[in-house]
């Protein structure tokens, strides 16, 4: 086989791996699922059945084989010291927690997701290639969601006959199991659509944006929709004036933390929000947050083990009739609370170093041209959305889920942007030698126009 055929074959392999990975984290193996019957056990284990685990392992070996062929392991679980500390700590809290083997199995799945995210951006050969692949994936997801609404409404729209949440009747969910999951994915696709308008096709990107926006509205995701102006404005501001990035993002985090805790523990604060026309219960979340805060106080250092707290026998049996419904929740509906419940305050601090402080550091390392590029804005938008929406949904350190996967991809992308510089010649990507910070990584999605991008 000559070089051109070999390169074409590698291109097909890259494309297929990109599509399969994207669809695995979005559509999965159970689209259009019926919600007419209940399920038992920890809902945090959803998506971790044998078929999903087997597929994740196949993808893992495929990515490792790809990175071995390209000699590009420098992004594997980077930064490695911090990642070792995070997963080491959560492994320890799981071993001393409520369900050690259950927690460790879920934690391994989370590690696999992080490995896949580290290799995902190395698949496209150029940024144009990346935008084409991303556009096709976005359109496939939107087609499947709208097809479900038209052809399978009983399995794509919440029904009054749903066993667990009949009050959501009429809210669109598409291929997803819940309208909140649909709202999260559509929010990410709105940000993708804005990027595609700049880098792929204005009409095509606008189509993705509008279809995602309509679906988001019909899903009833009012909070996700309300966050979009904040995310776009904040992203634009910190990209244009990076010297204010720590103050602005930290300020938002403090405000959101104050609102969540204030509505949960302070009746006066809740009444003030109610008078402003805001649902101070956040659709019943405060009842769940009350339980989370109470149990965090009991074990603030070690927590209860990775994904081992909610729906545990000890939790459900320990509550009275008046608030037992909240004890059956699948998660805190707050990613930060769940990080503490799984790994205590040390676990929360370690994860925040990774998904909060490091991206801010990466933004400061970029030159103006790289920082203001549409690709950087894509990563910043996704990162900000998940960071803020994490106050109302469990989105961090999961063993399944597109939004968590794409957050890790965005953090990896910001890392690459921070360590990239333009060179004038159009040489092909060189393999990584040695895998250190100074290694040249074949990360073609960082190329701008016809110029290759290399790590410094």
Cα–Cα dist 434/375, whole Å: 27
Buried b (16+ CB within 10 A) or exposed e, 253-263: beebeebbebb
| pLDDT tens profile 103-129 | 999 999 999 999 999 899 999 988 999
Q: Could you give the angle at the alpha carbon of 194 between the alpha carbons of 192 and 197, nearest 5°?
A: 110
Structure tokens at 46: 């959803």
pLDDT for the residue numbered 456? 36
pLDDT for the residue numbered 151? 95
pLDDT for the residue numbered 420? 67
Q: Could you tell me the pTM of the whole model?
A: 0.87
Structure tokens at 240: 């244009």
pLDDT for the residue numbered 319? 63
For residues 392 and 288, is the Cβ–Cβ distance under 8 A? no
Full 3-state SS string of the chain: CCHHHHHHHHHHHHHHHHHHHHHHHHCCCCCCCCCCCCCCCCHHHCCCCHHHHHHHHHHHHHHHHHHHHHCCCCCCCCCHHHHHHHHHHHHHHHHCCCCHHHHHHHHHHHHHHHHHHHHHCCCCCCHHHHHHHHHHHHHHHHHHHHHHHHHCHHHHECCCCCCCCHHHCCCECCCCCCHHHHHHHHHHHHHHHHHHHHHCCHHHHHHHHHHHHHHHHHCCCHHHHHHHHHHHHHHHHHHHCHHHHHHHHHHHHHHHHHHHHHHHHCHHHHHHHHHCCCCCCCCCHHHHHHHHHHHHHHCCCCCCCCCCCCCCHHHHHCCCCCCHHHHCCCCCCCHHHHHHHHHHHHHHHHHHHHHHHHHHHHHHHCCHHHHCCHHHHHHHHHHHHHHHHCCCCCCCCCCCCHHHHHHHHHHHHHHHHHCEEECCCCCCCCCCCCCCCCCCCCCHHHCECCECEEEC
Backbone angles phi, psi at 455, to 5 degrees: -70, 145
Residue-level pLDDT, tens digit, the chain, 456 residues? 444 444 555 668 899 999 999 999 999 888 998 887 654 444 444 445 788 888 999 999 999 998 888 877 877 888 999 999 999 999 999 999 888 999 999 999 999 999 999 899 999 988 999 999 999 999 999 999 999 999 999 999 999 888 777 888 999 999 999 899 999 999 999 999 999 999 999 999 999 999 999 999 999 988 889 899 999 999 999 999 999 999 999 999 999 999 999 888 888 888 888 888 777 778 778 889 989 999 999 999 999 999 999 877 767 766 655 556 677 788 899 999 999 999 999 999 999 999 999 999 999 999 999 999 999 999 999 999 999 999 999 999 998 889 999 999 999 999 999 986 443 333 444 443 333 333 333 344 443 333 333 333
Domains of the chain: which residue ranges?
3-455
How many CB atoms are closer than 10 A to CB 137? Answer: 18
């Amino acid at each position: 086989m000559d070089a051109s055929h070999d390169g074409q074959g590698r291109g097909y392999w890259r494309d297929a791996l990109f599509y399969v990975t994207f669809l695995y984290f979005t559509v999965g193996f159970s689209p259009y699922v019926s919600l007419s019957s209940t399920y038992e056990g920890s809902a945090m284990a959803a998506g971790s059945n044998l078929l999903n685990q087997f597929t994740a392992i196949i993808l893992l070996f495929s990515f490792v084989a790809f990175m071995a062929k390209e000699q590009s392991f420098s992004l594997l679980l980077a930064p490695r010291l911090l990642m070792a500390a995070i997963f080491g700590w959560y492994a320890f809290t799981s071993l001393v927690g409520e369900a050690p083997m259950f927690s460790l199995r879920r934690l391994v799945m989370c590690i696999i997701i992080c490995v896949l995210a580290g290799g995902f951006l190395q698949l496209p050969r150029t940024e144009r290639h990346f935008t084409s692949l991303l556009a096709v994936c976005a359109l496939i997801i939107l087609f499947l969601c709208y097809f479900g609404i038209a052809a399978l409404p009983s399995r794509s729209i919440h029904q009054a006959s749903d066993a667990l949440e009949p009050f959501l009747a009429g809210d669109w969910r598409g291929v997803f199991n819940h309208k909140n999951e649909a709202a999260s994915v559509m929010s990410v696709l709105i940000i993708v659509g804005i990027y595609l308008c700049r880098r792929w096709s204005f009409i095509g990107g606008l189509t993705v944006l509008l279809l995602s926006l309509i679906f988001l509205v019909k899903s009833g995701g009012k909070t996700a929709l309300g966050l979009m102006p904040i995310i776009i404005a904040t992203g634009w501001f910190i990209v244009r004036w990076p010297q204010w990035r720590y103050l602005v993002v930290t300020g938002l985090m403090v405000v959101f933390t104050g609102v969540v805790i204030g509505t949960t523990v302070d009746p006066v604060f809740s009444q003030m929000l109610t008078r402003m026309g805001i649902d101070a219960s956040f659709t019943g979340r405060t009842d769940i947050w009350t339980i989370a805060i109470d149990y965090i106080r009991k074990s603030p250092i070690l927590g209860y083990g990775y994904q081992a707290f909610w729906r545990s026998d000890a939790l459900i049996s320990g509550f009275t009739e008046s608030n037992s419904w909240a004890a059956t929740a699948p998660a805190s509906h707050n990613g930060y609370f769940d990080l503490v419940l799984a790994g205590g305050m040390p676990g929360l601090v370690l994860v925040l170093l990774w998904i909060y402080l490091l991206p801010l550091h990466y933004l400061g390392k970029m030159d103006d041209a790289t920082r203001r590029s549409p690709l950087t804005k894509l990563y910043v938008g996704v990162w900000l959305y998940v960071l803020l929406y994490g106050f109302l949904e469990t989105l961090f350190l999961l063993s399944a889920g597109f939004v968590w996967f794409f957050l890790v991809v965005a953090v990896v992308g910001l890392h690459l942007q921070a360590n990239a510089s333009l060179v004038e010649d159009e040489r092909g990507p060189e393999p990584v030698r040695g895998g250190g910070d100074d290694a040249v990584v074949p990360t073609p999605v960082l190329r701008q126009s016809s110029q290759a991008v290399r790590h410094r």
